[in-house]
Structure 1
C-alpha cells in the first residue's frame, strides 16, 4: 500500500522528495472504472440477446418488432463493449509523466486548482475522461485531452490563473499543484 494516510497526502506530497505522484494509483482507479462500465455493458448485451432470441418474442405480424429491436440493441452493446475494451487496452499501456513545479500542464498531468472562493479541485488529464474518481475521500475529476477544460489548462504553469466554468459556475482558479 502507499503508506500515506490519504490520496491527498499522497498526490500532493512535499515537492523536494522522490517522485511527486505515482500516477499508477489514479490509473488503476480509472482502469477499475472502465472494468465496471464493461461489465455493465456485457450484462446489457446479454439481456438484449436473451430478449431477441426468446421464443415468446417471435413476431406475430409485420409490425411486431420487439425481437428485431432487441437484436439491434444487442449489436450496439457489442460495439460499445469492443470500444470500451480498446480504450482499456490503450490506457493499460499508457504511462503518465511525472511532473513538477517547473513543468507546464500537459497530457498526463494531475492539476490541483484553488478557486477565488477557496474551493479546491483536482483534475487528471488522461486518455479516458468523463469520470469522477473518489479515492481515499479525495475527489478527482478525470478529463481527456479533447475536453474543453483541458484546452483551457494546457500550457499553464504553477501559480497561473484561469477562468473556468465548473458546475455551472464561472470562477477564477489558480494552479496550486502540478504532478
Structure 2
C-alpha cells in the first residue's frame, strides 16, 4: 500500500492537469471569440460579443480553479490510514451499498466529483474497482463519512434520496 497511494495521487494530479490544459484551450478560444471584430455589436440587440465575454470570463475562472486544485493536491501530505483511524481528508475509502456495489472514494480537499482511472486491485487483489471518485468534506457523502470508522454503516441523504452504505476499507 505504501507505493499505491502516491500512485493514486499522481493519477489525480494527472487528471486535473489534463482538465486544466483543456480548460486553458477553451478559455483562449472564448477570449479570441469575444475579442474578434465579428463579435462587435452593431445594434443593442446583438449580444453575441457580450455572451462571448461572459463565457471567456467563466473559462478563465475555471482555469484558475483547476490550478488551485492541482496545488492543493500537490500540498496534500500522503497519509496511510490504519484500521483504527477515523476517516479524514486524504483517506481512500471503499464503501458498499445495499445492492453490494463497491465504490472507491478519495476524500479530497477539492475537485469533488472528478473520477480518476485507477485499478484498486493494486491495493487488494479482490477489489474489482477501476476508478476512484474524489469527494470533498462539503459534499453530503463526504460529510457523512468524515470521522467514521471501518465497518460502520452510514446513512447519506443526497437530494432527498437516502442511501445506506457500509465502510469496508480505509487506506
Q: Which residue of 2 aligns with 1:132?
A: 115
Distance 1:115 1:53, change over 3 A: closer
Tell me if structure 1 keeps the 8 A contact 2:96–2:167: yes
TM-score by length of 2: 0.81
Partner Cα separation in structure 2 for residue 141 and residue 115 of structure 1 = 15
Which protein shows a greater Rg?
1
Secondary structure at 1:107's aligned position in 2? coil
Q: CA RMSD in A?
A: 2.4
Q: Does 1:74 align with 2:77?
A: no
Secondary structure at 2:4's aligned position in 1? coil
Q: Which residue of 1 aligns with 2:65?
A: 83
- For structure 2, list consecutive stretches of 5 or more residues without a partner in the other structure: 120-128
- Once the two structures are TM-superposed, the CA of residue 169 in structure 1 deviates from its matched residue by 6.5
- Once the two structures are TM-superposed, the CA of residue 73 in structure 1 deviates from its matched residue by 2.0
Runs of 4+ in 1 over 4 A off after TM superposition: 168-171
Q: Give matches, 1:1-179, under 5 Å.
A: 19=2, 22-128=4-110, 129-136=112-119, 138-164=130-156, 170-179=162-171
Tell me if structure 1 keeps the 8 A contact 2:140–2:157: no
